[in-house]
Amino acid sequence: MISFLDLKKINEPYETAFQEKLKTVLHNGWYILGKELETFEKAFAEYNQAKYCIGVGNGFDALVLIFKGYIELGKLQKGDEVIVPANTYIASILAILQVDLVPVLVEPKLETYNINPDLIQEKITPKTKAILVVHLYGQLAEMERINKIANQNNLLVIEDAAQSHGAFENPNNSKSQIPNAMNVILSEVEESSGTKAFSFYPGKNLGCLGDGGAITTNDKELAKVLFSLRNYGSEKKYYNEYVGVNSRLDELQAAFLNLKLPNLDNDNNKRRAIAKRYLSEIKNNKIELPFWGFSENHVFHLFVIRTENREALQEYLTQNNIQTVIHYPIPPHKQKAFPEWNNLSFPITEKIHNEVLSLPISPVLTEEEVSFVIEILNRY
């Protein structure tokens, strides 16, 4: 059986290092808000070319805390509208609702599955204060256009990067290769760009051994509030400045992430190489392949194809020992949790949810396994 995602195999190479780290952390006797977290926050901020990184409990909390932070700073208020893609994973929408903001759903582009910038403007009202962009399946949304719309309308941009660790807009924008002049220009761009929420759920491109999350931002004031909010709204022990929560990335998870972060680019490149093979070698007119411009803007958290009779294709693949998953079977507006939205119509979102199927893709999938998936799909 080719499993959809073999987490055990993904973490196997780290086993000895994990065990040593466990021992170190155990013997340090310091398990929350310590040196491992500080090290990770510094490394992950640098990796993302962001000024600040705040480690938190999970990806959902990362989103919620960003909104709470902006509320504390007076940049958002309860009842404000937040533009969000209609076909995101439900966490994005739940995070907006959690802080009494109002999600306004916008259709995606069928080709990229990401929010369609052409449809944002018409959804903007005097109450609209932010756009929550989701880089779905690991591919960056059209940030240049979205940032422009946001600037023109004075909107905050928040990025749900839970599926896109290591995706960069400009191919030259990866850490090591930036010439100095470029660096200056990029840092100006970055200054105004969005605050990002990450998840380190085990199955994400950078995953820990439990729940974990982080926020990166260049906004100094926001960062200051967030460091406090995640720890009961307290910077100095027993002095509480904000109505905070308990959402901290613990020392052990931070330690594991410190061991895995150096391999993230490598892992993403392996995913891209598999995606390239799928894109060039799968030849079947019953199957719609995902769009990718072959830049570093995609880290293939998922490789998502579309087909009209999805259940038949999934059954065929199962019979051929290939495990697939549907991301996601029901769009947020059709979920029982949101009866007030159930009659809304988002045809592109609904088409996507009816037709998508995710093929196995991960850094530990072998060439033979990829070949087998391609062969079986071409015979369908």
Ligand X SMILES: *Cc1c(COP(=O)(O)O)cnc(C)c1O
> Which of 194, 213, 331, 360 touches ligand X by CB under 6 A?
213
* Of residues 41 and 313, the one with the C-beta less far from ligand X: 41
- Considering only 60, 227, 292, 300, the residue that binds ligand X (CB under 6 A) is 60
**In angstroms, rounded to a whole number, what is the distance separating the alpha carbons of residues 343 and 59?**
29
Two tokens, residue 153: 């309308």
Distance in angstroms (rounded) separating the CA atoms of residues 321 and 275: 20
User: Considering only 2-10, 40-48, 84-92, 261-269, which stretch makes contact with ligand X by CB under 6 A?
Assistant: 84-92
Q: Closest separation between CB of residue 362 and ligand X, Å?
A: 15
Contact status, residue 199 vs residue 61, Cβ threshold 8 Å: no
Given the complex with ligand X, which of 88 and 147 has the nearer CB atom? 88
Task: Name the helix (H) or strand (E) containing 67.
Answer: helix 59-72
305 has which bridge partners? 357
291, 275 in Cβ contact below 8 A? no
Q: Supply the minimum distance, in Å, between the C-beta of residue 195 and ligand X.
A: 14
Shortest distance, position 69 Cβ to ligand X, whole Å = 17
**Angle between helices 15-28 and 251-260 in degrees, nearest 10:** 150
- The rounded distance, in Å, linking the Cα atoms of 363 and 9 is 9
User: Of 59, 85, 103, 363, which lies in the binding site for ligand X, with binding defined by CB under 6 A?
Assistant: 59
Segment contacting ligand X (CB under 6 A): 159-167, 220-228, 265-273, 316-324? 159-167
Q: Which stretch binds ligand X (CB under 6 A): 98-106, 160-168, 265-273, 338-346?
A: 160-168
**Shortest CB 196 distance to ligand X, Å:** 11
Contact indicator for 117, 149 with CB cutoff of 8 Å: yes
- The site for ligand X (CB under 6 A) is made up of 58-60, 88-89, 91-92, 134, 160, 162-163, 199, 201, 211, 213
